A = this chain, B = another copy of it.
Amino acid sequence: MTAKDTLEAAITAQGDVVRKLKSAATKDKAKINEEVQKLLALKEQLKQLSVDDAEQQPAAAEPAAAPGNRNLALKTAKGTRDYGPEAMALRLRVLEQVVGVFRKHGAETIDTPVFELKEVLTGKYGEDSKLIYDLKDQGGEILALRYDLTVPFARYVGMGNVFNIKRYQIAKVYRRDNPQITRGRYREFYQCDFDIAGTYDPMLPDAECVKVVCEILSTVGVGPYVVKLNHRKLLDGMFEACGVPADQFRTACSSVDKLDKTPWEEVRREMVEEKGLPAETVDRIGVYVTLHGGPDLVDRLAADEQLQRIPSALEGLADMRLLLQYCAIFQVADRVSFDLSLARGLDYYTGVIYEAVLLGTDDGAGGEVTVGSVAGGGRYDNLVGMFNPKRKQVPCVGVSIGVERLFSILEARTAGKQRTNETEVYVASAHKGLHLKRLEILNQLWDAGVKAEHSYKLNPKLLAQLQHCEEYQIPYAIILGDGELTRGVVKLREIATRKEEEVALDTFVEELRRRLTVSATVQT
């Protein structure tokens, strides 16, 4: 299937979703809006397919914008989208869970600018450097949008002479990648990073990163997963043992890194034909990269005669043995897999590397297949020194949580409308002429810390006000009417049950608070 076919199929499917929502008896406007946005994004992506071809030739000029605003393009930039209230409610919920785990492990947070001097980013991302968004030279510095949070973090640590910090950072990063909106991949997306910088004993911070990933994936609740573990020194030792020249370790790494998506035969061909490695060498690599297991595999490799001769392989194995021991104490041994096919694309890793993948069961044959990476990271001991005035190194290890994937998975699973605001009570008028009284009641509620709102119309219809409460799942309404007010009371209505009772004007705030506390307790 071509990209065009995939998109057209996705558009048809999304169109169905929208039509179904629109024809439903109870219209959920926020949900419809969200789904329409997705549909528009897909259509935009289809339209961009031809533009993309043009982009391949840098000389091709953008069609000139029509003068004036009459033909203003009504869209967000390619590969980006808006997030409406419902999408945001889910995002905030998930981010809160992720941050909760980071904080449980004692992390602080920092913030760095969205753009960096271009030279800070240069040479850190290998082939992917072409995906960096540059800012226009407007007569000042040469700037570019951040590509990840790791390089800015290393700059922060190096530049600020920080020698130890455990920090998390949640922020958006930018990649001029080919957006795959059908798979939830955009050009602007969140990264959630947790890193430990400092000179410590082997594998103690590294093991905690694994624990953090496991806690997050279990808390967020995205089903079964496995955290693949490997070690750059072991990989290098393995390449050396198989006969790869040292200056081709990194390029061999980037071929092996494709094994999660590409069959061995294809990767083998690339290494032999494109990268010019001897077929015999590549076949020896092929034997190693099929191996995965636990502490038993460490023992087996430690006994491997070829690897025994290579110091870096032995160092890597010693680390792996310790890491797996600590993982067992952290009770995540059943969640991790020492996997020699894991390589990670980035150049800066120097030790342990991680990648968490979700296990799906949709291969149609009852077996488990992996459905994609949701976290990744590793140790990078030589990055900070580049940014330190005296070239001092600070060893670092960290993980980045692929929250965008988590959002997509949870969004697809969420049934029914979720709350998008936190209003506790709606102040309604039973008839005309009550807006001043409404404002007075609202003011009492706000000053008492109760989340409250009302219609911004002078004389709204009662039915419309109650429908608003149902649409936004506001638990209570206070209904004002002249009859009640002259008797010094208001009606308190529970929206879900439609039960109404009268409460005194001088105690309604306390009454309401009591009920809100009770229902909050019941829910926990």
Which positions 399-442 of chain A face chain B at CB distance < 8 Å? 420-423, 435-436, 439-440
- What number of copies of this chain does the assembly contain? 2
The 6 closest A-B CB pairs, nearest first, are A200-B456, A106-B453, A85-B108, A80-B113, A134-B136, A106-B423
Interface string of A44-84 (1 = CB under 8 A from B): 00000001001101101010010001001111111011111
Chain B residues closer than 8 Å to A167, beta-carbon distance: 85
**How distant is A457 from chain B, measured CB to nearest CB, in Å?**
5
Supposing A110-B88, A138-B134, A329-B440 touch, asked if A457 and B200 sit within 8 A by C-beta, the answer is yes
If the complex has contacts A108-B421, A138-B134, A446-B105, are A162 and B33 also in contact, measured as CB distance less than 8 A? Answer: yes
Q: Is the CB of B211 within 8 A of A446?
A: yes
- Please tell me if A127 contacts chain B, counting CB pairs below 8 Å: no
Say yes or no for A123: interface residue by CB 8 A criterion.
yes
A114 to B204, CA, bound (A): 38
Select A160's contact among B84, B114, B208, beta carbons within 8 Å: B84
Give the size range of A's interface with the partner: 35 or more
| Chain B positions within 8 Å of A106 at CB level | 421-423, 451-453, 472
User: A142 CB to closest chain B CB, in angstroms?
Assistant: 6
A85-B167, A92-B109, A204-B458 are known; give 15 further A-B pairs, CB within 8 A.
A33-B160, A36-B160, A54-B139, A69-B386, A74-B389, A80-B113, A80-B115, A88-B108, A105-B446, A133-B136, A140-B176, A200-B456, A201-B457, A205-B456, A326-B439
Chain A stretch 199-227: residues in CB contact (< 8 A) with chain B: 200-201, 204-205, 207-208, 211, 215
Give chain B residues whose Cβ lies under 8 Å from the Cβ of A326: 439
Q: Does A263 contact B (CB under 8 A)?
A: no
Task: Answer yes or no: A443 CB below 8 A from chain B CBs.
Answer: yes
When distances are taken between beta carbons in the complex, the residues of chain B under 8 Å from A200 are: 455-457
A449 within 8 A of B: yes
Bound form: Cα–Cα A137–B201 in Å: 47
- Which residue of B85, B89, B139 contacts A55 across the interface (Cβ within 8 Å)? B139
Alpha-carbon separation in the docked complex, A160 to B85 (Å): 12
A456 to B72: give the CA distance in the assembly, Å.
56
Q: Let me know if A73 and B117 touch, CB within 8 A.
A: yes
- The CA-CA distance from A145 to B145 in the complex, in Å, is 10
A143 at the interface (CB under 8 A from B): yes
Tell whether A462 is near chain B: CB-to-CB under 8 Å.
Answer: no
Out of B158, B422, B455, name the residue touching A74 (CB < 8 Å): B158
Interface presence of A6 (CB below 8 A): no
Contacts of A107 in B (CB 8 A): 421
Is residue A305 within 8 Å, beta carbon to beta carbon, of the partner chain?
Answer: no
**A362 interface residue, CB < 8 Å from B?**
no
A109 to B89, CA, bound (A): 8
> Is A172 an interface residue, CB under 8 A from the partner?
yes
With A33-B162, A106-B421 as given contacts, are A113 and B76 in contact (CB-CB < 8 Å)? yes
Which residues of chain B have C-beta atoms less than 8 A from A62's C-beta? 137, 139-142
Kindly provide the distance from the CB of A207 to the nearest chain B CB, expressed in whole angstroms.
8
List residues of chain B with CB within 8 A of the CB of A65.
119, 142
Mask: chain A, 475-516; 1 = CB below 8 Å from B; 0 = not: 000000000000000000000000000000000000000000
CB-based contact B76/A439 at 8 Å: no
Q: Does A135 contact B (CB under 8 A)?
A: yes
Flag whether A120 is at the interface (Cβ < 8 A): yes
> What is the bound-complex CA distance between A188 and B76, given in angstroms?
21
Partner of A456, one of B83, B120, B204, B386: B204
Q: Bound state CA distance, A166 and B30, in angstroms?
A: 13
- Decide yes or no whether A116 CB sits under 8 A from chain B: yes
A111 at the binding interface (Cβ < 8 Å): yes
| Contact pick for A51, options B116, B140, B330, B423, CB 8 Å | B140
Question: Is A291 interfacial (CB-CB < 8 Å)?
Answer: no
CB distance from A324 to the nearest CB of B (A): 13
| One of B60, B134, B421, B422 near A135 (C-beta < 8 A) | B134
- With A104-B452, A386-B72 known as contacts, the answer to whether A37 contacts B160 (CB < 8 A) is yes
Is A13 on the interface with B (CB-CB < 8 A)?
Answer: no
Contact with B along A127-165 (1 / 0, CB 8 A): 000000111111111110100000000011011101001
Cβ-based interface call for A251 (8 A): no
Question: In this complex, what residue of B is CB-closest to A439?
Answer: B329
Known A-B contacts A74-B159, A77-B116, A196-B456; A110 and B83 likewise in contact (beta carbons under 8 Å) = yes
A198 at the interface (CB under 8 A from B): yes
Do A215 and B109 touch (CB < 8 A)?
no
